[in-house]
């Protein structure tokens, strides 16, 4: 993973080392779990569920029976995946118990048969080729080894199965980028302090985003981890990138990386 913040990162870094990362991330999400959904809706002006719906519709496989959401948190993706792939058993996996506990009531009210499973993205507790499709939302910034997480997602997805990965990105338009940086680096930590009672977690968010691989580089990482036909679409004025890919067959074909026009 990348360890050196670029020049846009605020001076006072809260970023953990690769060795500390899992413990740091687990503790941070345990602390913010009760206010996590509210913070998401406020920070994204309510747009985040639309991004998840776009991703789910894009990878929806007719006849899918098993779908995984990796780093599911409070399980925002689970009802959306059930709607996109009716009849599929949807499983959300996460290593922060408190996040899944915070989403348990919604899981019971809004899904038919979705389930939470405790597990680590770097060593998933599932057999090979168990899923028809996998999603991961805003989680890859938080893992200590991005390549290993995509290899694990490839291992548990059947050949030809689909991947959708949502992550924060930096808008390309200079004016939008300037406004986004101002908002993300300065306003979001204040909202995090007021609403979530935790400014550090919402300082970690823009700082971890500032060192996350940009979309073309992330596409290369995904392509090297057992996926082909990797593409991405920028949503939210370029503040979010959704990467879409297809699981390689046993003999991986060369990857073809391309952006989907906005």
Closest approach of ligand SAM to the CB of residue 249, in Å: 27
Number of chain positions touching ligand SAM (CB under 6 A)? 20
Distance of CA 179 to CAs 170, 171, 173, 186, 229, Å? 11, 10, 10, 10, 33
Alpha carbon distance 118, 94 (integer Å): 5
The verdict on 73 binding ligand SAM (CB under 6 A) reads yes
Of 228-257, which residues contact ligand SAM (CB under 6 A)?
Answer: none
The verdict on 71 binding ligand SAM (CB under 6 A) reads yes
Q: Which of 68, 80, 82, 137 binds ligand SAM (CB under 6 A)?
A: 137
Paired residues of 231 in beta bridges:
244, 258
Contact pattern for ligand SAM over residues 21 through 60, marking x by CB under 6 A? -x--x---x----------x--------------------
Q: Which of 85, 121, 146, 230 binds ligand SAM (CB under 6 A)?
A: 121
Distance of CA 151 to CAs 57, 86, 123, 146, Å? 23, 27, 10, 9
Residue 33 or 64 with smaller CB distance to ligand SAM:
33
The burial class, CB within 10 Å (0-12 / 13-18 / 19+), for 76 is buried
* Nearest position to ligand SAM, beta carbon: 73
CA proximity to 8, closest of 184, 198, 143: 184
3-state secondary structure string across 161-212: EEEEEEEECCCCCHHHHHHHHHHHHHHHHHHHHHHHCCCCHHHHHHHHHHCC
Residue 106 or 255 with smaller CB distance to ligand SAM:
106
Q: Which of 39, 64, 76, 114 binds ligand SAM (CB under 6 A)?
A: 76
Residue 153 or 219 with smaller CB distance to ligand SAM:
153
The verdict on 138 binding ligand SAM (CB under 6 A) reads yes
User: Which stretches of the chain bind ligand SAM, using CB under 6 A?
Assistant: 22, 25, 29, 40, 71-73, 76, 94-96, 99, 120-122, 137-139, 142-143
């Amino acid at each position: 993973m990348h360890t050196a913040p670029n020049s846009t990162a605020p001076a006072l870094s809260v970023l953990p080392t690769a060795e500390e990362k899992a413990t740091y991330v687990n503790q941070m999400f345990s602390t913010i779990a009760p206010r996590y959904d509210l913070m998401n809706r406020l920070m994204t002006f309510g747009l985040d569920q639309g991004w998840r719906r776009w991703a789910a519709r894009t990878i929806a496989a007719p006849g899918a029976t098993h779908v995984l959401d990796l780093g599911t948190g409070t399980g925002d993706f689970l009802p959306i995946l059930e709607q996109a792939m009716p009849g599929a058993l949807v499983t959300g996996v996460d290593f922060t118990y408190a996040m899944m506990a915070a989403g348990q009531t919604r899981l019971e009210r809004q899904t038919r048969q979705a389930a939470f499973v405790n597990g680590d993205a770097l060593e998933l507790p599932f057999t090979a080729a168990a899923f028809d499709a996998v999603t991961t939302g805003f989680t890859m910034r938080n893992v200590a080894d991005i390549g290993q997480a995509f290899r694990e997602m490839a291992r548990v997805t059947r050949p030809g199965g689909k991947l959708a990965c949502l992550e924060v990105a930096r808008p390309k338009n200079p004016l939008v980028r300037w406004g986004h940086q101002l908002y993300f680096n300065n306003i979001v930590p204040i909202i995090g302090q007021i609403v979530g009672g935790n400014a550090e977690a919402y300082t970690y968010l823009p700082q971890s985003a500032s060192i996350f691989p940009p979309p073309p580089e992330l596409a290369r990482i995904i392509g090297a981890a057992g996926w082909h036909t990797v593409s991405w679409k920028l949503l939210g004025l370029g503040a979010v990138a959704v990467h879409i890919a297809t699981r390689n067959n046993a003999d991986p074909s060369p990857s073809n990386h391309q952006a989907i026009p906005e």
